[in-house]
């Protein structure tokens, strides 16, 4: 039996290098349309970051847009291509003058909570943690910052959530900017779902991740495939001096700086770093957005090291790089890259499937945003039609929403759900929203694509906690989900053109 959810929504059974494989995937030439004005999104604000989640559980992805120069906004997806500003109604009217923010279920009650990285209007303000208490159509958040002990006043630019110790509870890592500031790691020690149960303790020194190198944002992902999420920190300061840091998770509560060993120091002024599997190898590569110095594309070699392929790949733009998003926008089986720029035109790199990219942004004039200072970006399926739409945050002129009208059945979406988060008998557990889970797509017994569930990607941005694949509509596929607990679940012979929820206990 299947449970029916919104248009082309999630199929939930209650009881029950790959270039050649994708050469025949049909792709439209001009599928993107700017729908910002009819969508109801405000065309103003000094926007910084974007965060995507289904905050009210109605099956449609909503958006939180951080504003450094005024009120931030939570927009509820009406399911018809329009959005409603529910910021005050949801209890988020004190979230303004913010930088990057992130969603994650910190108390494992099945609802995405919100951590807001605050900048401040006249002085630095405390970061805020809001627990989600909403229902479909009625968003509601409760501020638990003080009782949870996560209200630091350190000018946090970006925040990310990860379960670094695999105890089934999402921890928070803050990227802090300024003289003498160090990054901060909060370990989640929450004992239950109630607001008063939500607690964190600082674990920065014990974990060894307190770099004080003027951080702008971070991304947590498993770069070496050992089952433990690592952290890559984007650093930089005027006049452009800074060294990024790659912290390898040792699996014992501690991290080790392996930046030089892995080959990703990137001595420039980095604002954001995005990750994606650009060659379907099963490992996530890095696209580093540099504000000073050209952007860098580091190919993950799968042996703990990266290779700089920026020039040969055709992604060597030298502007004021800011925010990066990865998605298979045309369903040809390879992830493309959209890159925001604070000085010149944004770039839209089409993945050619051979470790080269072609900038196709000229085909989409409205997506260039020339002379507009783009900040955070995120791909997401805002209308549940299976193709990846795009949200772009901009300075002064407000955000833009682009609808992808690919309109084919050549896609698969996967929502992994953790069920071991409260199983005290297990050594390793998975958080309820399965952050860190790895999802592999197979065809005819061969892996053809790989994704990981992340709470941050690019500059100050949070992607949805679901993954998306391009998959030719004529074939059937196997989906494998590798949960942080060590449990693997395989769904056999699935059809494209559908979204699948895969619980850990299946």
Going from the N-terminus, what domains does the chain have, and what CATH number goes with each?
A: 47-404 (2.130.10.130), 411-503 (2.60.40.10)
- The answer on pLDDT for 343 being more than 90 is no
Q: Tell me how far apart the alpha carbons of residues 209 and 153 are, in angstroms, rounded to a whole number.
A: 18
Q: Which two tokens stand for residue 183?
A: 């990054």
* Residue 439 scores a pLDDT above 60: yes
pLDDT beyond 70 at 506: no
Segment 443-498, tens digit of pLDDT: 999 999 999 999 999 888 999 999 999 999 999 999 999 999 999 999 999 999 99
Residues 237 and 269: beta-carbon distance below 8 Å: yes
Least confident of 24-33, 124-133, 314-323: 24-33
Half-sphere exposure of 95 (CA within 13 A, CB side): 33
Least confident span in 53-57, 209-213, 412-416, 490-494: 209-213
What pLDDT is recorded for position 122? Answer: 61
Residue 197 burial (10 A CB sphere; 0-12, 13-18, 19+): middle
**Burial class of residue 191 (count of CB atoms within 10 Å of its CB; 0-12, 13-18, 19+):** exposed
Residue indicated by tokens 């350190």: 154
Look over the chain and give the mean of its residue pLDDT values, rounded to a whole number. 89
Residue with tokens 């399911």: 79
CA separation, residue 216 to residues 124, 146, 160, 284, 451 (Å): 15, 24, 12, 21, 24
pLDDT by residue (tens digit) across 26-81? 444 458 999 999 999 977 778 788 999 999 999 999 999 988 878 899 999 999 99
Q: Break the chain down into helix, strand, coil percent, rounded to 5.
A: 5, 40, 50
Dihedral (C-alpha) 210, 212, 216, 220: value to the nearest 10 degrees? -20
Q: What is the mean pLDDT of residues 287-306?
A: 92
Grade residue 212 by pLDDT with cuts at 50, 70 and 90: confident
- pLDDT at residue 7 above 50? no
Residue 385 has a pLDDT of 96
């Amino acid at each position: 039996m299947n449970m029916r959810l919104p248009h082309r929504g999630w199929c939930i059974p209650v009881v029950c290098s790959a270039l050649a494989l994708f050469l025949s995937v049909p792709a439209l030439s001009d599928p993107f349309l700017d729908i910002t004005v009819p969508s109801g999104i405000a065309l103003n604000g000094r926007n910084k970051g974007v965060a995507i989640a289904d905050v009210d559980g109605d099956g449609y992805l909503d958006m939180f847009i951080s504003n450094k120069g005024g009120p931030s906004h939570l927009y509820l997806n009406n399911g018809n291509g329009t959005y409603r500003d529910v910021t005050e109604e949801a209890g988020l009217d004190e979230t303004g003058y913010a930088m990057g923010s992130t969603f994650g279920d910190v108390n494992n009650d099945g609802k995405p909570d919100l951590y807001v990285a605050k900048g401040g209007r006249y002085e630095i303000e405390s970061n805020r943690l809001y627990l989600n208490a909403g229902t479909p159509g009625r968003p509601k958040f409760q501020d638990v910052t003080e009782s949870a002990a996560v209200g630091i006043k350190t000018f946090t630019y970006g925040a990310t959530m990860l379960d670094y110790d695999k105890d089934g509870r999402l921890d928070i890592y803050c990227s802090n900017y300024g003289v003498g500031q160090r990054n901060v790691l909060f370990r989640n020690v929450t004992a239950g779902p109630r607001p008063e149960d939500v607690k964190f303790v600082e674990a920065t020194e014990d974990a060894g991740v307190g770099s004080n190198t003027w951080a702008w944002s971070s991304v947590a992902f498993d770069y070496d495939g050992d089952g433990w999420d690592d952290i890559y920190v984007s650093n930089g300061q005027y006049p452009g001096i800074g060294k990024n840091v790659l912290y390898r998770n040792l699996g014992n509560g501690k991290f080790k700086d392996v930046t030089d060993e892995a080959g990703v120091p990137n001595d420039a002024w980095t604002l954001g770093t995005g990750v994606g599997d650009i060659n379907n190898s099963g490992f996530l590569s890095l696209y580093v957005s540099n504000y000073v110095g050209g952007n860098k594309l580091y190919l993950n070699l799968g042996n703990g090291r990266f290779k700089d392929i920026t020039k040969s790949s055709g992604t060597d733009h030298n502007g004021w790089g800011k925010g990066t998003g990865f998605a298979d926008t045309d369903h040809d089986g390879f992830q493309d890259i959209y890159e925001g720029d604070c000085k010149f035109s944004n770039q839209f790199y089409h993945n050619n499937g051979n470790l080269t990219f072609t900038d196709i942004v000229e085909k989409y004039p409205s997506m260039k945003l020339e002379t507009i200072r783009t900040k955070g970006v995120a791909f997401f399926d805002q209308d549940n039609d299976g193709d990846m739409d795009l949200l772009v945050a901009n300075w002064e002129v407000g955000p833009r929403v682009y609808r992808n009208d690919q309109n084919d059945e050549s896609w698969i979406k996967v929502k992994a759900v953790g069920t071991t988060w409260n199983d005290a008998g297990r050594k390793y557990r998975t958080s309820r929203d399965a952050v860190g889970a790895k999802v592999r797509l197979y065809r005819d017994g061969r892996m053809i694509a790989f994704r990981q569930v992340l709470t941050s990607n690019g500059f100050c941005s949070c992607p949805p906690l679901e993954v998306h694949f391009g998959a030719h509509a004529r074939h059937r596929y196997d989906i494998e989900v590798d949960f942080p607990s060590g449990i693997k679940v395989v769904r056999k012979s699935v059809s494209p053109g559908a979204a699948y929820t895969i619980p850990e206990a299946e």
